[in-house]
Structure 1
Amino acid sequence: MGSVRPGRCGRPGRPGRSRFAAGLRDVLTLVLLPLPLLAVTAPAAFAGGGTRRWFGGRGESVRAEAQAAKDAAAAAFYELDTAQRDLRISIETIVAVDSSSGARRAVSDFETLGRRIDEASHQYIGAVDAHDLDRDDLDASVAASARTELTRAKDELTKVKDELERFRQGLGPLLDKAETQLARLAPAVERARQTLLAASNALDAVRAAGLRADDLAARLAALAPELTKLNQGAGQHGVPETLQRADRVLRDAEAVRAEAERLPERAAEIDRRLVSLRTRAQALTTRSGQVEPILSELRRRFALACWEDLQRVPDQAGESVRQAETKLKEAQQARDEQHWPDATALLSTVRALLNNTDEAVSAAGDRLRRLNAVSKDPQQEIERTRFAIRDAQRLAMAGRQTPEPRHARPLDDSVARLDRAVSSLEGRHPDYWHFLTETEEVRSTVARVVAQIREERGQGA
């Protein structure tokens, strides 16, 4: 849908030159000529043969009105043409960025408006070509008809321009969005390039320090095709896709840069962890040797149920320490080969093995300590548990005549459970470990009831 210029449409004989252009030139010439020259030129018009040039009266007034109508139509035509050109730029901007249904509808509406513009333009050009207002023998009726047609053409051009203006105003949100994305395009691409350069420089610095960082180099090399597409530009790949690519390159390159800059510190941290875990494994080897004497005392002084689950702790501890030492050697090799992820994963495995061993070894000593304490004075454990129950009962009764059944029932059950645990201490070889686990369970149940009461009352406040 192109802009239409005035010309001699459909009339053979003078291609490339329109009466509109000639008329506009003559109008400008008449306006710009000095008055004395007009005074000299006018009488000379009568020197020709049988032509008749009429001045004065209604005829000259009608010619002037027709010429004014022609000038007004020309101005309206060029205003419409300029508005159409400006709007086409806006449409092209939207199309370059937006592929939504709204953008497609805007393009369709613009094409429809283009057809209206073509119709109005052809009406105007037809009116210009139909009447030569410069003819000496122009009749007043012809001039009046020309004025009418040119005025009608001008009105139609103005009407279409108003439609174009309303359409332009409706494009505001789409155009703002498109211009925003276009404004982001160049900075986004430049940031992606600069981040890639920073990542490359960081990788070079790491290699200069003697660290290979092969995985980071591979990740950076994988971004090369993306950089090529960024350099090819949005004209080939589209604005939205180019913006997404720039964001993706920026994110991935920034991750490589950050990891490269942390790599020396990461290597140093792995070295520290190797030393620390090796020392800890040696200490656990020593502590594991102390488990057997603890078990011997447990066997000698307490019932089978108090220590039976600890029987395999020495063997399990020794095996775990041996596995940890094997993994430490593998981690050291991975570090020497600069396989950083492998070294980190192996060290995490070593730590888990040593933590489990530490817990198992500590459990044997803790078991003996607690059993010694309760066997000397079980009353302390009993009172501790009863105090927790009574405190919960007071809370359940606070501000009430009777407690809520959902609170009272588990507290009553806890009282009965504690009584049974106390009764289990009677006899020659009481199961102190069962007693301790029962009192712990009672206190846990009571704590849950207390938390429930406080939560419910907090919500009702």
Structure 2
Amino acid sequence: MTATPPQSYSSSSVPRAHRQALRDTLTLVGLPLLAALALPASFAGGGTRRWFGGRAESQRAEAQAAKDAAAAAFYELDTAQRDLRISIETITAVDDSPAARRAVADFQAISGRIDEASSHYIEAVDAHDLDRDDLEASVAAHARTELTRAKDDLGNVKKELDRFGDSLGPLLGKAETQLARLAPAVERARQGLLAASNALDAVRESGLKADALAARLAALGPELTKLNQGAGQHGVPHTLERAERVAREAESIRVEAERLPERAAEIDHRLVSLRTRAEALTTRTGQVEPVLSELRRRFTAACWQDLQHVPDQAAENVRQAERKLREARVARDEQRWPDATSLLSTVRALLNTTDESVSAAGDRLHRLNAVQKDPQQEIDRTRFAIRDAQRLAMTGRTTPDPRHARPLDDSVARLDRAVAGLEGRHPDYWHFLTETEAVRQTVARVVAQIREERGGAH
């Protein structure tokens, strides 16, 4: 009768109890004892086996040796497969990549070939009773052949299994690394949550509220529940990522909570400081109108007309700043820290703008007074900048580069026009100052261009 092809490990045609008994026997008694059991009973003392001659007993011994070798191969293969199954389970617990899925499929295919080789081995063992008294030499020889073939099949599939195990190195190393990170990461997350909770308790005991931080901490509760449920339910990669995210957020909450008293003190200080500055700007804003009056009296309209809006705009800015300060005070009293910080930033921006515009009026009068008294200082300053740039443009050259010479020549002409504009009964000194400033800016750009080109050439 033709033997039915063996199935996979999980549905093998070999009885599970029979196969397990073989494993248990191999494990408990050990291979040396199996070899001892293979000795003829007549040598064990008092046996009843009949003596059939040297050839029969020699064939029996060789068959028994083949059986022992096959048993050793079976035991070694079974052990290797069990170990490799653990590696596969480690990989699948962590990795769901195509490479990992391919490794699982390959292992299942090899397991099928292992089942087939194991089935042939068990059939060969069951088919031959080497302890029979009337065992013939031909039967023993046939048993030896079948058992040797079973041993070779087991050895071949063991080699295939070993090669496959070697190929799992990168996947297994990655999986083991992640698994090694998992427990510490989860513990860091738990400790981080505990530290954040303790920090919030300390802040509340000092009389400060931390409602926003408490809400953020409460939002991490479901995440902690999932961490406690474990990687078995949510997977190693997701659990590891969740643990790291929870740890980061918990640390952020802890740091903010511990800094809250300092933040409250800082807001209190800024409230006082900005209040003082707003009061000072109120006084300075009142001084802009006399400055404008002097500008109107002594200089042409072009010198002051762009400053006409300064008093009204400055006063409005200060009023807005004072309103925002009051709102910031309320936010601070209610311990709405982000709102208080935002409002104080708005106040600071308003006061900075007001400071600049108020200062601009006084600065304008100062500069116009200086140029009216001695315009030559401004002229000399600008001419010096032009000449210095011209010398740089000619350094190492017999003729200047047109890209440099043209804007410098234009700057000379522009300065001459600005100087000519000072002639007459009512010169526009402000136009003169803006022109000389523009000339110096053009010259500075040419100088920067020359230096950049020469620096790049080296």
TM-score relative to the length of structure 1: 0.92
Say whether the 8 Å CA contact 2:12–2:115 is kept in structure 1: no
Cα gap change, 1:174/1:25 in structure 2, threshold over 3 Å: closer, same or farther? closer
Mark the CA change 1:6 to 1:60 in structure 2 (over 3 Å): closer, same or farther. Answer: farther
1:2 aligns with 2:21: no
Match of 1:196 in 2: 193
Does 2:36 align with 1:38?
A: no
1:94 aligns with 2:91: yes
Q: Is the contact made by 2:271 and 2:344 (CA closer than 8 Å) also made in structure 1?
A: yes
Q: Secondary structure at the match of 2:423?
A: coil
Letter in 1 for 2:145: T
Seen in structure 2, the aligned counterparts of structure 1 residues 424 and 17 have a Cα distance that, compared at 3 Å, is closer
Shift of 1:54: 2.1
2:165 equivalent to 1:206:
no
Residue 49 of structure 1 corresponds to none
1:303 to 277, 293, 300: 300
Post-superposition offset of 1:31: 2.4
Amino acid at match of 1:351: R
Which residue is equivalent to 1:172?
169
State the distance in 2 between where 1:112 and 1:25 align: 30
Contact 1:284 1:357 in 2 (8 A): yes
* Contact 1:202–1:261 (CA under 8 A) maintained in structure 2: yes
Distance 1:220 1:392 in 2: 63
> Does 2:238 align with 1:216?
no
2:69 is equivalent to residue 64 of structure 1: no
C-alpha contact (below 8 Å) 1:188/1:243 kept by paired residues:
yes
**More displaced 10-residue stretch of structure 1: 430-439 or 406-415:** 406-415
Question: Partner residue of 1:48?
Answer: none
Q: 2:38 touches 2:61 (CA, 8 Å); kept in 1?
A: no
- Structure 2 unaligned spans of 5+: 1-7
Whether the 8 Å CA contact 2:118–2:154 is kept in 1: the answer is: yes
- 1:312, distance to aligned residue in structure 2 (A): 1.4
CA 1:80–1:397: 2 relative to 1, 3 Å: same
For the residue of structure 2 that corresponds to 1:344, the secondary structure is helix
Q: Percent identity?
A: 76
Q: CA RMSD in A?
A: 2.6
Q: Look up the match of 1:449.
A: 446
Map residues 137-286 of structure 1 onto 2, 5 A cutoff. 137-286=134-283
The number of residues matched between the two structures is 449
The match for 2:4 is none
- Deviation, 1:290, is 0.8
Going from structure 1 to structure 2, the CA distance change for 1:322 and 1:8 (only over 3 Å counts) comes to closer
Distance (Å, rounded) in 2 between the aligned partners of 1:246 and 1:39: 65
Q: Which runs of 4+ in 1 moved over 6 A?
A: 3-10, 14-18, 24-27, 32-37
Q: Deviations over 1:195-216 (max 9, x none)?
A: 0000000000000011111111
Distance 1:210 1:405 in 2: 73
Deviation at 1:29, TM superposition (A): 7.4
Of 5, 28, 36 in structure 1, the residue corresponding to residue 33 of structure 2 is 28
Give how far 1:403 is off: 1.7
Instruction: Find 2:105's aligned residue among 103, 108, 113.
Output: 108
User: 1-side partners of 2:38 and 2:105: how far apart?
Assistant: 48
- Alpha-carbon offset, residue 406 of structure 1: 1.4
Judging changes above 3 Å, is the alpha-carbon distance between structure 1 residues 15 and 296 closer, same or farther for their aligned structure 2 residues?
closer
Alignment of 1:406-425 (within 5 A): 406-425=403-422
**CA distance, structure 1, for counterparts of residue 20 and residue 444 of structure 2:** 100
- Give 1:39 shift: 6.4
Distance 1:298 1:424, change over 3 A: same
TM-score (norm 2): 0.93
AA matched with 2:279? Q
Assess, with a 3 A threshold, how the Cα gap between structure 1 residues 129 and 25 changes in structure 2: closer, same or farther: farther
Measure the CA separation in 1 of the matches of 2:72 and 2:430: 105
Query: What is the alpha-carbon distance in structure 1 between the residues aligned to residue 299 and residue 451 of structure 2?
Result: 41
**Distance (whole Å) between structure 2 residues aligned to residue 320 and residue 460 of structure 1:** 52
Superposed CA deviations along residues 193-248 of structure 1, whole A, max 9, x for unmatched, are 00000000000000001111111111111100000000000011000000111011
Change (3 A) 1:343 1:30: closer
Alignment partners' CA distance in 2, 1:395 and 1:305? 36
Could you say what secondary structure the match of 1:430 adopts?
A: coil
Residues 309, 63 of structure 1: alpha-carbon distance in 2 compared, 3 angstrom cutoff: same
Q: How far 1:2 sits from its partner (Å)?
A: 3.4
Question: CA–CA distance in 2 between the matches of 1:326 and 1:9?
Answer: 86
For residues 265 and 34 of structure 2, what CA distance do their matches in structure 1 show? 89
* Residues 3-47 of structure 1, C-alpha deviations (whole Å, 9 max, x = no match): 89997799xxx99977x969x8998377289999936414x44xx
In structure 2, relative to structure 1, the CA distance for the partners of 1:147 and 1:15 (3 Å cut) is closer
Unaligned runs of 5+ in 1: 46-51
Q: Which amino acid aligns with 1:61?
A: S
Q: After TM superposition, list the pairs within 5 Å mapping 1:307-318 onto structure 2.
A: 307-318=304-315
Quick one: structure 1 residues 21 and 53, their matched pair in 2 at CA, closer, same or farther if it must change by over 3 Å? farther
For residue 53 of structure 1, report the CA deviation from its aligned partner.
3.8
Checking the alignment, whether the CA contact within 8 Å between 1:7 and 1:129 is kept in structure 2 is no
- Whether the 8 Å contact between 1:199 and 1:254 is mirrored in structure 2 is yes
Measure the CA separation in 2 of the matches of 1:120 and 1:269. Answer: 79
